[in-house]
């Protein structure tokens, strides 16, 4: 742990840190803190896990084949009315 | 000027090419439904938003100028229609839509209190990540969906496009008409809330 940045501050930077959106100064403070603080390293691991797990939800076929067919049929109907 | 990667698609849509339309509908509609659902609670209503958005795309494609990518333009239509529909259907705005009372990313009592040695450092630090199979378990997934669903609409839209659909920050800003700073704040709040809700499922020895 370094006293320069508290854990409480680090969790506020966590998402921006993962985004590589922090100004250089803050980024260095976070990196120095993370080297010494297991708790914050684990906090970031959890954040990364959230991002990764969220990414697996994209494979969910919420609409389904039936939903897509419904959609295409509605668009076909709209197009033929228009012609 | 229409960006080169969109040129053929736009030309095909303008010509009424049904195959190209079907391909785009197949490729994008799940993402469009997820975005609509960020604003519109009812599943059937969200599906209607997607349908209305496609009709708006077909109606407006002749006027599409390519100032944004085609996908950005299409998803912006979804977001606008969904917001309008939500505003119409919601007589009272729930607290959560206003951003709610913002909870901190971590319960304050998990840090050492002010005035003591090591104030602001972990008193009760996070535990190590649980085994991969528990991370990927159906229960964790269900809790994750629930945590995303509980977010205020703006946060939900951002985390959905960024982390579920894997879009770049730049594309999300263009689609949702956000500044870079606002996008980052919404993403930070969304990820923090979801992590907090999911923590018992992420940690070794949790639940």
Q: Inter-axis angle of helices A64-82 and B43-60, to 10 degrees?
A: 40
pLDDT in tens, B170-188: 999 999 999 999 999 999 9
Note whether B118 contacts A37, CB cutoff 8 Å: no
Largest CA distance in chain B: 71
pLDDT in tens, A24-34: 999 999 999 99
| Contact predicate A74/B51, CB 8 Å | yes
Note whether B144 contacts A61, CB cutoff 8 Å: no
pLDDT band at B204 (very low <50, low <70, confident <90, very high): confident
- What is the DSSP-derived secondary structure letter of residue A61? -
- pLDDT at residue B13 above 70? yes
pTM for the model stands at 0.93
Q: Which residue stretches of chain A are H helix? A: 7-18, 24-36, 38-56, 64-82
What's chain B's Rg over C-alpha atoms?
20
Q: Which residues of B touch A38 (CB under 8 A)?
A: 125
d(CA B106, CA B103): 8
Q: Which residue stretches of chain B are H helix? A: 4-14, 18-39, 43-60, 70-89, 132-135, 138-149, 153-159, 169-176, 180-202
What's chain A's Rg over C-alpha atoms?
23
Distance from CA of B16 to the nearest CA of A (A): 9
Q: Which of B50, B111, B191 is facing A71, going by the closest CB pair?
A: B50
pLDDT band at B94 (very low <50, low <70, confident <90, very high): low
Dihedral of the alpha carbons of A37, A42, A48, A51, in degrees to the nearest 10:
-130
In the block, tokens 């639940």 appear at: B207
Higher per-residue confidence, A44 vs A82: A44
SS3 B122: strand
Q: Which two tokens stand for residue B114?
A: 């002010």
| Summary mean pLDDT of chain B | 92
- pLDDT at residue B31 above 70? yes
d(CA B128, CA B180): 32
d(CA A55, CA A49): 10
Q: Which residues of B touch A63 (CB under 8 A)?
A: 29-30, 33, 47, 50
d(CA B168, CA B171): 5
Interface membership of A56 toward B (CB under 8 Å):
yes
- pLDDT at residue A50 above 50? yes
- pLDDT at residue B17 above 50? yes
d(CA B170, CA B177): 10
Report, as an integer, the average pLDDT of B22-47.
96
Euclidean distance between the first and final Cα of chain A, in Å?
70
- pLDDT at residue B55 above 80? yes
Count other C-beta atoms under 10 Å from residue A38's C-beta.
13
Q: Is the alpha carbon torsion for B95, B98, B104, B108 positive or negative?
A: negative
The separation between CA B127 and the C-alpha centre of its own chain, rounded to angstroms, equals: 28
| Contact predicate B147/B139, CB 8 Å | no
Distance from CA of A25 to the nearest CA of B (A): 18
Q: Which two tokens stand for residue B79?
A: 């977001």
């Amino acid at each position: 742990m370094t006293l320069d940045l508290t854990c409480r501050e680090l969790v506020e930077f966590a998402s921006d840190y993962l985004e590589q959106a922090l100004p250089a100064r803050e980024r260095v403070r976070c990196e120095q803190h993370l080297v010494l603080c297991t708790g914050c390293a684990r906090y970031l691991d959890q954040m990364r896990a959230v991002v990764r797990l969220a990414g697996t939800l994209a494979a969910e076929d919420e609409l389904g084949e039936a939903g897509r067919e419904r959609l295409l049929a509605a668009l076909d109907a709209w197009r033929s009315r228009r012609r | 000027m229409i960006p080169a990667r969109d040129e053929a698609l736009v030309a095909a849509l303008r010509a009424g090419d049904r195959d190209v339309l079907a391909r785009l509908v197949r490729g994008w509609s799940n993402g469009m439904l997820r975005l609509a659902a960020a604003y519109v609670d009812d599943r059937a209503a969200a599906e209607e938003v997607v349908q209305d958005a496609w009709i708006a795309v077909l109606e407006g494609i002749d006027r599409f100028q390519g100032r944004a990518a085609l996908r950005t333009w299409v998803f912006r239509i979804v977001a606008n229609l969904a917001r309008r529909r939500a505003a119409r259907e919601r007589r009272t705005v729930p607290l959560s839509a206003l951003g709610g009372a913002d909870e901190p990313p971590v319960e304050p009592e998990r840090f050492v209190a002010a005035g003591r040695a090591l104030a602001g450092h972990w008193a009760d630090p996070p535990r190590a990540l649980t085994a991969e199979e528990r991370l990927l378990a159906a229960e964790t997934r269900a809790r994750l969906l629930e945590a995303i669903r509980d977010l205020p609409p703006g946060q939900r839209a951002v985390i959905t496009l960024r982390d579920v659909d894997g879009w770049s920050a730049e594309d999300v800003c263009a689609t949702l008409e956000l500044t870079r700073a606002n996008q980052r704040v919404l993403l930070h709040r969304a990820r923090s809330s979801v992590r907090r809700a999911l923590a018992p499922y992420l940690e070794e020895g949790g639940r």
